[in-house]
Amino acid sequence: MSAWDEQRRAWEAELARRPAPPASTSSGISVDPLYAPGAAGEGRDLSGIGFPGQYPYTRGLHPSGYRGKLWTFRQYAGFGTAEDANARYRFLLEQGQTGLSVALDLPTQMGFDSDDPRVEEEVGRVGVAIDTLDDMEVIFAGLPLDRVSTSFTINGTAAILLAMYLAVCEKQRVPSGKINGTIQNDILKEYVARGTWIYPAAPSIRLIVDTIEHCAAHAPNFNALSVAGAHFRDAGCNAVQEMGYTLADAVAYVQACVDRGMNVDAIARQISFFFYTHMDFFEEVAKYRAGRRLWAKIMRERFGAKDPRSWMFRFGCVCGGSTLTAQQPMNNVVRVSYELLAAVLGGVQSVFTAAYDEAFALPTEATAELSLRTQQVLAYETGVPAVADPLGGSWYVEDLTDRMEAAIAALLERIDGMGGMVRAVEQGVIQREIAQEAFRQQKRIESGEKVIVGVNRFAKPEEPQLALYEPDPRIRERQVARLAEVKRRRDGAAVRQALDGLRATARGTGNLMPPLLACARAYCTVGEMNGVLVDVFGRFQEPTSV
């Protein structure tokens, strides 16, 4: 018997005397107390994991990891009027932020104008209010749109906001090849988990395919679709479900493009991904490695993509969200730091680190700055970015990556069996699965099985008072005055003509982006454009059973 085998047997005997309690990841994948090579010291076969920058990209998209290019620090921000947002974006860029992420208020996301009495309390609250191209012009005034990429968390009205952004780039004379950014534009997860849906599934997916087709031809470096699992996760599902539902959504969108006769290699680069990174550290690393490998296989084998760039799973993430607690809020700084490390070890392309006061309100300037500094400390002080996929070859991480991939693939197969994601969502199946999982997780917290520091362990009766962001009570008044001024100045005949053109195209089958661009240039409002589309398309009917 070799020395190695002797050591292993001694370890096993010791373990048998003092058995370790069982443990599992947050998705319920059981984990051993130790991962080690098998008998006689041979390692597991790692030939399948490949090299960074090579199919199937288990180890990342770039041959030298982050050495060539760090991930993008992309803090989600925006509130109030266009001037307020412009000031915050200038501040963040001056502090070393490298990409913009525009938070829009709910009326903009749902297709209402700021002067609509039905939404008066929501104007400028959770993001900036945009009514017309004029607001876009002010938001991006003096910002280098040819050098900074801009991400919009916008879905129901994504095509409308894309038209406005392309129009503002036109005005700033940004060459189309330099327009860089993302619209989220992922309606399926809105039906399930985020709620800013407007039209039924079929016309919504038509709009998404229109934006992909338009960007592929006119703004090739703009991502027209960011398929988002983040909101499933924050709605309560686990890591396997998050990745599984997201890839199922992406399959549905790619299929819709293929069904329209588009070449998969012509549209694949328009698609990126977006997730939440939560607290189960190695599971998060494995989730991203498994997702990257599975997507490469899906694009190459299922859709027959030939261009290696089409196989690449590019993703951004948020660190924070529902893992942040209202109790002992400073603990959230620590949580976000660990989550960020997991995301970076998982090979992320861009990160939003949430502020520790997120459970209460929008961040103040000071808390937003600390969350940006969290990324800078990891990027510049720890040495972590120096080596590509530093956890690659870890017996545990490789094993967990394999098992996550198998679990995610099984979930995808089950959804295929239900007739695909669109059908599963329309029937409310995914919604119920997520609510059940959220309830299960909550019960684990209440029973103390899942520990959350400061919440169900180490809680204190007295909580410190934070200095929170207070919204300006005059936001709506200021925004409504801006809108009235734009409406007074614009050419009414041109507005009517542009809206008529939009209606005619919506009734037919043509690409809706050219008429939406014409509307944006004529200073039509979000509410006017959305009104035409609701007239023609109707509204989604939500399955409300829980």
Partner 1 sequence: MGGRLRVLIAKPGLDGHDRGAKVVALALRDAGVEVIYTGLHQQVDRIAAVALAESVDVVALSILSGAHLSLTRKLVASLDALGIRGEVKVVVGGAIPPPDVARLLELGVARVFPTGTPLGEIVKWFGALERRSAA
Q: Using CB under 8 A, list all residues that contact partner 1.
A: 106-107, 109-110, 112, 118-122, 125-126, 190, 193-196, 234-236, 322, 325-327, 359-362, 435-436, 438-439, 442-443, 446, 455-456, 465, 468, 471, 542, 544-546
Give the β-pairing of 315-319 and 350-353: parallel
Output phi, psi for 461, to 5 deg: -65, -35
- Closest to partner 1 by CB, 230 vs 341, is 230
Nearest CA to 178 out of 150, 147, 151 is that of 147
Residue 352 C-beta: closest distance to partner 1, Å: 17
CB of 218 to partner 1, least distance (A): 31
By C-beta, is 207 or 362 nearer to partner 1? 362
Nearer to partner 1, 347 or 363 (CB): 363
Sign, CA torsion 254/258/262/263: positive
Which residue, 193 or 216, is less far from partner 1 as judged by CB? 193
* Nearest approach, Cβ of residue 469 and partner 1 (Å): 9
Closest distance between partner 1 and the C-beta of residue 364, in Å? Answer: 12
Phi, psi of 95 (to 5 degrees): -85, 5
* Closer by beta carbon to partner 1, 285 or else 318: 318
Closer residue to partner 1, CB minimum distance, 215 or 239 = 239
| Residue with smaller CB distance to partner 1, 54 or 327 | 327
Alpha helices in 235-321 (DSSP H): 239-259, 264-267, 281-297
Cβ distance 254 to 228 under 8 Å? no
Is residue 119 classed exposed, middle or buried when 0-12, 13-18 and 19+ CB atoms within 10 A define those classes?
buried
**Structure tokens that stand for 141 in this block:** 């005034």
At how many degrees (to 10) do helices 281-297 and 395-417 cross? Answer: 60
d(CA 214, CA 218): 6
**Minimum distance from CB of 60 to partner 1 (Å)?**
32
Q: CB 196 → partner 1: shortest distance, Å?
A: 5
Q: What number of CA atoms fall less than 13 Å from residue 429's CA on the CB side? A: 15
Q: If we measure between CA atoms, which residue out of 336, 328, 341, 342 comes closest to residue 355?
A: 336
Residues 186, 241 contacting (CB under 8 angstroms): no
* Cβ at position 112, least distance to partner 1 in Å: 8
Residue 351 or residue 434: which is nearer to partner 1 going by CB?
Answer: 434
- At 520, is the secondary structure helix, strand, or coil? helix
First-last CA distance in the chain: 59
Alpha helices, DSSP H, located in 78-181: 82-94, 106-110, 133-139, 158-171
Shortest Cβ 245–partner 1 spacing (Å): 15
Nearer to partner 1 by Cβ, of 221 and 325: the residue is 325
Q: Which helix (H) or strand (E) holds 274?
A: strand 271-277
Tell the smallest beta-carbon distance from residue 194 to partner 1 (Å). 5
Q: Which is nearer to partner 1, 116 or 146 (CB)?
A: 116
CB of 238 to partner 1, least distance (A): 13
